[in-house]
Each structure stands twice: as structure tokens, then as C-alpha cells.
Structure 1
């Protein structure tokens, strides 16, 4: 997303821990450039707001060579890590200075909520740019964390969705499926993949409904924020001349953090308090600053700042309608999200749909293209890896993009797409599945046995790609190679044991022709 390269080419092949091999060093390498580093020589000022999550060091006193300001951005407000509390986020930073939301001298809202803080600083940076640098073009990277776990939202936003999900998973999923077809976003002939979870089997339906109410509220707040950013651009007269790209970087998450514990809310704090000015680092906070432990499980309604709960596999299945699987998998439920592009001065087909596949690696090439910037092959004697992505600008005019293939890998889950054909597998030891994306984008008819020649061709292409960009040799060892789920890289238990972070998968469609 930031570099126009595949993750392993940048050194961030899996999160931000150093695995000791080139593709998995846990931080941006010197052989890649960020969007800010490429656009600044073309005269742009660059701003980043929200999550960063491509730095190995997050400590206040540690090295900052891979923090936003050192990778080309003029201003930064956000978190160096990728997730955490919305009411008291760890690694909160302004420019290069770690801060506490409760003692920040520059920003003291009546109630701190991270999504609002991201919006407030995005609009502030836009206003300051118009005041102080109106003669320069700008690039802004706004990386909301919503609706990543934990389920934290403001009560007034939750109230809008009260009771909306009381009917359970299937009615919501079916309604979304029909609306997607009605809007032309999906082919009416694609079958709906199987539902995961049975509402009748849910013991605490009020709690389960509340999980989705809070999730919806988190997205609602982000949507309000996007509207405020658009309004700020309109106020400055820059809206028509600004390319807005809105997307999500993965499908809904089936992780089940905080859903299985049996906790009750204590009447008094049970842990030592944390001072208001203390700098927090935790993604999974064990307590709030008053000393209340992070409350989890179906006895605790999600939403408040002292809770830590995820919305779970069944609601993620609803979010990913009509596709199979989830975030972390390379099936469509994990990798397929829409991209919305808005640029009145350049895009003539307003409200029109384009159905060409694109990839996060295309964002850099698109920005370089429309900004008339130059992507260099060398900077200060350092060789820079060539761009992997393609500009999406031709798609604005409904023209095709020429490319051979697109590739994915995360935690051993892997895929390649060439034209209409997609090869995908779960885990580094999983069998390949083959699908025709034009007829079967919901991946219900596995053609692996019926077309072994095509399977071998695509598999060989993926292997060549994986060796070229340092996916291979594998860092995933059993049981990780078999688990393939969202928590596979974090846990050391066999799949049969299960854990609070792992998700189960349904049986795969059998290959056509297999008996």
C-alpha cells in the first residue's frame, strides 16, 4: 500500500518482528520508498494520520529510522503499531514525539476516541496546508483503524444500530447479497457461499447482536470522519482537484479475541492505576488507567473503553458476503474489497462501476502517474526495487490494465490470479484450489482435478514469484503450516486444541472430477 511492492520485497513479509531472513525483517528496507518519498521530489508535501505498522521499533526511546517522518512525511499523528484501544491507544505519536491522549497539550477533546482523533488531525493538517502551503500540492495518507478489534465505540453511535441485528446472521447476509446484485457490484449468477454459524445455537443473542451493533457504530464514526475530510476539501476549494482513493486493506476478521472468557464487571478497580501521562505501548491492554482489567466474554457487553472483544467468525462471514473465508486467507473473503475513486476534474464516469481486478501495489503507480512524479531506480547510491504495481488511471476511463498476474501470501495462505483464473491454498502445506473468477468468484466450484495442466502452470508461476520476492524459503513450520488461520502465526498450539484467537474453517469444495 505504501511502497508499490509486495510486502516481502519491503522486508515486512509478516508483521513487524524480525524473523532473521530478508523478506521478514519487520521494517521497511532501504531498497523501497514510501509514497511520500516518491512524491516529495515532485513538489508535494506529505501528511500521514492513523496507523503506521511498518516499524520494528515502537519504543519511545528507540530508533525511529522507520517512523513516518523519517520515511518522507512532513507531519504525522497516529499510532506506530497497528491496533489497540480506541479510547487510549498505545504508541500514540505526534510527529516523532510519543504522547498520552490525556496529557497531550495540543489536543484535548471532551472524550478521546481514536477514530475522531484521526479525523480531527486530518482536517487540521488540511487547513494548515491551505493556510501555510497553498502553493504546493499535497498527499495525505489517512489510515483509520476502524473497525479492527477491539469493539470500542461511542454510545451515541451504537444507539443508531440498536436492535438492527436481533434477527441474526442469515437475514443480514441474505439482504446484503441481494443488494450487491441489485447494485451490479457482483454477478447475479455467482452462488452465495455457505453461511457460517447458526443463530438458533447462539446462547446469548443480546450479546451477539451487540457485537455487530458496536462494529457498525465503529464504521459509522469512520464514515462521518470521511465526510468531514471531504467537507474540508470542499471548504478550501480543492475537492474537485483532489483524487480520493478509499479502500480497505483486507476482508472481515474471524479472530475471536475476548469472546470465550467468563468475566464479570468488578465493582472496584483490581489492579494498580496507570498515570495519565504514562506512555502506553500495548496492543492488547490488560487494564485501563483506573485499574479495571480488560473485560471479556459474553457476560460483558462490548463497546466501553474497559472491554476487549472481537465480533467473531459468523459476523465476519456476514461482512464478507458473498465470499468465502476471512482476513489472513487468500480466498476472496480475505482479499476482495472495493476501491472507491473520486476526482471530479478527471474522472468523467461518475457513479460508474469498473470490474477490473486491482491490488494494493497499484496505489503507488497510480499516484506517480497522476502526480507526474518519477519513481527512481536509485536514491543516494541505494538501489531501489522496481515498481510491481500498475497505474489504475486507465480504469478511470474504462480502459484495461495490462499485466501478467497478481500474487498474494500471508501466513502461508497464498494465491495467484492470471486473467480469469485463480489458484489459492490455505497454509504453506495446503492443497491448491483452482477457480474461474468470471463464472465463480465465490470459489464454490474447485476445478483443480479437472484442469491439472492449468493448475501446474499457475503453481509454477507462484513458486517463481515466491522465490523472486523472498516469500520462500518458508518461515512457517507445523502446526502453522496446517492452521492457516488468523492466529496461526501467533500461537503454538495444534489446530485440534484451538485458542481464543483462531478461527475454524468449513470443508473446502471438492475438486471437480474427484471421487
Structure 2
């Protein structure tokens, strides 16, 4: 495996340059700023990891939670690229130019590219002496087919990262990802001299492994080459976003795990979440999985989708374990702040689930692709060895020639016990685990933290712990918008943080939370709903008609936010017109 290859490289580096291991490792943790690692998964629900209620095996995340803090009311933005924009900049997504996806909709909040009135975590931390690394998904620029170097102005290396390995685009095959990039150049996973079959599981390229393995590489190389500096690393997994792709060794662990069906799995999760304390049974409802979302005719196929989904999460957790091991092996574990979170709730999209699929051919029917072929499609037309990529009911997920999502019913299980899914700003779309682990500073081991927070807080937290200065001017004199978040550092010691409100908008879905009350609506024309989250986090009892004055007050605060934060007009179409 890759970690042994890198270990050999690092041993050689230590032999040639023995002084390179001394400065950072020998200094007391209290005398230096911490390393910071932000780890984000993709399209996963609140209950999908073990320490938040899941039956999926996530021992490494569980171990971080056991020696750290689990936050029970942390939020994302309900969609992949807006979440990445918020995380990277400490702003709400429209302020960074990414209120929707990666296309220009004619307004500053919807340009589909990071603007020059924001700074990334890497751009803030580099002047404070940090080395900066990114392994995984980027997805904050529309320039996925650059014609020249200028088109890469919003690629990772141009936005502050010293090293990058990953994908520029937002989704793709786990066995042959499109826009796979090292630093500033596209590459083919079948023609990569730095990460070949000898570095992979049974000689098979699998993107989740590759993301983790390159994070390990960056940790090791940093230690032996620039170990007197702290580092910031953003690890952006694509697990468990569709397509449901996983290695057979991981799928085998979950064979038969979901035979009992959606409702039984959801009920077991709900009870485990109560036992763990991550939800309050008096404030939540384990409402049933919608009957119209359940698959009956193709049940064996449906079970397989969830088995593969679980395997994807399991594999990601294994990779996180290797990252933790690399920190331990290089003496950097104690003074590294690790935060794990998710980009949105479980995904109810119907991708690849329409119609009846065809069986796999006995032999390849298409030409074999050359090793240096660059995959350019989100959904490949074929595998590298010549098999057509298949979708539809009955196509058993897992291998490279399949391309399927796990559907609304399993997403309801993922989001136990919350309403709605990715895209929507009800709790199921925006609730994420947050695990914080920092041995030299965080002494609250295994505790739960109920203070509400949002991804915008992670910039403020990084600035706080690093001693970095958040700039008011950057990018050649451009004025930078002030941070929107609050540092989470006080909560490390159980102290409160004060804020006016937390805000959301995506595709016209909009919400505001002030204290325990949340105002939320579906769609640009949807009626405001009001919930007391402390008493009804599952959002089953709308109080809007009972408390019209509170609705009016919260709606006015949200409107003021929308006007100042480039949110309006709501959900413009691709031509810049309101829908």
C-alpha cells in the first residue's frame, strides 16, 4: 500500500537531511500553532456514521469522537459546491459567488466561481506561516475545461494551496474520475507515475483510497521537508456521493445487512441515536419512510445499493484511519486540530434509477481505452477495459460499469430523524455531524456539544487557533468581505458563543435560525413555516399560524440578510432571470 512506499521515501529524506525532523517535533505543542485538518464527506446524512447512530462500521471516526467533541446542531448549506464555498471562505455561499452550482446565472451571488472579494482558508493561513494542502474534490469553479492558464485562476494552486491532488469537477466515477488533477495538470489514473498499481488495493485505483493516500503523502512529506512549519490540510472526500461504487472487499462486509428493510434500519438508528444522546426523543419523531419511495419489485437490487453505500463510508473511514496513523507516526498527532463534517444531507436524487437496466455483457464490446486517456465525462460512457456503463433497476451497484444513486427511501434512513434531503433547508438537508479532536487542547472527551454552529464558523476557528490575520484587502487591492462565522474555540471548553442568526438559501429554499426558533420555506414561493427546534427538531409541528408576529420578525431579519449577502433575486435561471 501507498503508506509503505511513502514511509520509505520519508526514511530516505530523514537519512539525507536529519535536521529536518527536529524543529517542529521537538518544540512543545503549546509553543506552536496547531496543524489543522478539515475532513469533509459528500452526500451523507446525519445518522450515517457510527457515533451518530449508524450500523456502518466507522471505528476511526468513532475513536476521534471518543477523545473529542461531537456537535449535535451543526449545519451546512444543503448542497455540495455552496458548502465548499462557505467552508473555504467563511462567508455564506452567495457572498463568495456560488449561490447555486457551477454556472453563471447573471448575478454576483450566482457566478459559479469564487470571486475576488473573498479569501480561502489557504490564502489566510499561508501568511501566518502555514503550508497548505488539498486532497480531494474542489468544485468551486466553472472552469473544468480550461483553454489556458488564466482559466485556472480559481483552481486550488491559484487560491493558496501549495499542493493539490483531486478533482476539479463535483461528481464522477470512483474508478476513473473526470478532471483528476495533480497540482495544475490533469492526469489519468491509469498513467500516473506517482500513484501506480503497487500503491493501490490489489492494483485497483479507487478514488476514496487515492484521496486518503495522498493526504498521507502530504503529511509525511511535510514532516520531512518543512516540519518546522504548521500545515493546513483540506481532505475533501467524494464518498458517498453517487455513483454507488465500492471495492468488493468492503461490499462483502455488508452483505445481508439491510435485509430487514428501510423502516427497521431507521428504527434501529433512531434508538441508537437516543442511546448516544445525539437526539432528544422528546424533540424528534421517527416518522416512517414514505411508502411511495420504497422499492418492492427490485428489492434485491435496492438492498445492494445500500450495501454499496455503506461500503463507501466504511472505506472512507479506513482512509481517515491511515491519516491519523500518519500523524502519529510523524509525531504531529497531539497538536493537530481535526474536524470532520459533511457537505449536505442524504441525497434523494433519482440518478441512474430510471427504467430497467441490462445485464453485463460476457465480454467487452467496446475498444480498450489507452492508459493516458483523460476521462472527460461525469458519467463515463464505458470502462477502460471496454464495458458500457449501465444504469437502471436491476443493475447491481458497485463495479465501474454501473452508475446508480441509492434513492429517496435510503436517504430518509440516512437523515434519521429529520425532514427532507440535500437541496432543501429543512433539518434533513442541512444537519451534519461535527467531530472536533485536538489532543493538546480539547480535553472534553466523548462529550456532546449542543451549541448551534455553521460551516462559516470554521474559517473563524482556523484564524483563532492559528493566530492568522484575516485580511480586509487581498487579490491586488480588492476589498474582502468580513467573516460571517464565530470561532468555535470557546465551545472547546464548554463556553457559549453569541450570534444573531444563522441563514440559508438554496434554489429558493430558505431559512433562518435565531435561538431555538427556525423559519423555513420550500421554494421561492413557498409559505414560511415556523418551528421550535428545541421542542421539534423533526419539524413536524408548524407554529406559523400560532405566532405570526415571530414569523414577521424572523422574515424581516432574513430579508435584510438576503439583501446584503447577494442572495436576491431568488433562484435566477441560467439566463439571469428569476424563475
Q: Which moved more, 1:189-198 or 1:339-348?
A: 189-198
- Please state whether the residue corresponding to 2:453 is helix, strand or coil: coil
Q: State the match for 1:180 in structure 2.
A: 273
Q: State the match for 1:152 in structure 2.
A: 245
Separation of aligned partners in 2, 1:291 and 1:15:
32
Separation of aligned partners in 2, 1:468 and 1:60:
32
Change (3 A) 1:290 1:375: same
Separation of aligned partners in 1, 2:417 and 2:331:
39
Is residue 328 of structure 2 the alignment partner of residue 234 of structure 1? Answer: yes
Superposed displacement of residue 344, structure 1: 1.0
Separation of aligned partners in 2, 1:432 and 1:269:
54
Report matched runs for 1:9-88 at 5 Å: 9-59=95-145, 61-62=147-148, 63-88=151-176
Report matched runs for 1:461-500 at 5 Å: 461-476=557-572
- Please state whether the residue corresponding to 2:505 is helix, strand or coil: strand
Across the two proteins, how many residue pairs are aligned to each other? 481
Separation of aligned partners in 2, 1:61 and 1:153:
33
2:506, 2:571 within 8 Å by CA — same for their partners in 1?
Answer: no
Separation of aligned partners in 2, 1:300 and 1:152:
12
> TM-score w.r.t. structure 2 length?
0.81
Q: State the match for 1:102 in structure 2.
A: 190
Return 5+ residue gaps in structure 2 as ranges: 1-86, 198-202
- Per-residue CA deviation, residues 342-381 of structure 1 (Å, 9 max, x unaligned), is 0011011111110111101111000000001110101231
Q: State the match for 2:81 in structure 1.
A: none
- Please state whether the residue corresponding to 1:125 is helix, strand or coil: helix
Separation of aligned partners in 2, 1:404 and 1:107:
48
Q: State the match for 2:391 in structure 1.
A: 296
Q: State the match for 1:332 in structure 2.
A: 427
Separation of aligned partners in 2, 1:271 and 1:406:
52
> TM-score w.r.t. structure 1 length?
0.91
Change (3 A) 1:335 1:200: closer
Report matched runs for 1:311-390 at 5 Å: 311-379=406-474, 380-390=476-486
1:225 to 311, 319, 323: 319
Return 5+ residue gaps in structure 1 as ranges: 483-488, 490-515
Q: CA RMSD in A?
A: 1.7
1:93 to 176, 181, 199: 181
Superposed displacement of residue 292, structure 1: 2.5
Q: State the match for 1:164 in structure 2.
A: 257
Q: Judging by fraction of residues, say which structure has more helix.
A: 2
Superposed displacement of residue 289, structure 1: 2.6
Separation of aligned partners in 2, 1:295 and 1:11:
35
Q: State the match for 1:129 in structure 2.
A: 222
Separation of aligned partners in 1, 2:376 and 2:323:
28
Separation of aligned partners in 1, 2:570 and 2:419:
25
Separation of aligned partners in 2, 1:272 and 1:111:
20
1:193, 1:444 within 8 Å by CA — same for their partners in 2?
Answer: no
- Please state whether the residue corresponding to 1:49 is helix, strand or coil: strand
Q: Which has the higher contact order (CA 8 A, sep 6+)?
A: 2
2:507, 2:570 within 8 Å by CA — same for their partners in 1?
Answer: no
Superposed displacement of residue 235, structure 1: 0.7
- Per-residue CA deviation, residues 144-184 of structure 1 (Å, 9 max, x unaligned), is 01000000000000000000001100111001000111111
Q: State the match for 1:413 in structure 2.
A: 509
1:6 to 75, 89, 92: 92
Q: State the match for 1:459 in structure 2.
A: 555
2:105, 2:572 within 8 Å by CA — same for their partners in 1?
Answer: no
Superposed displacement of residue 454, structure 1: 0.4
1:193, 1:324 within 8 Å by CA — same for their partners in 2?
Answer: no
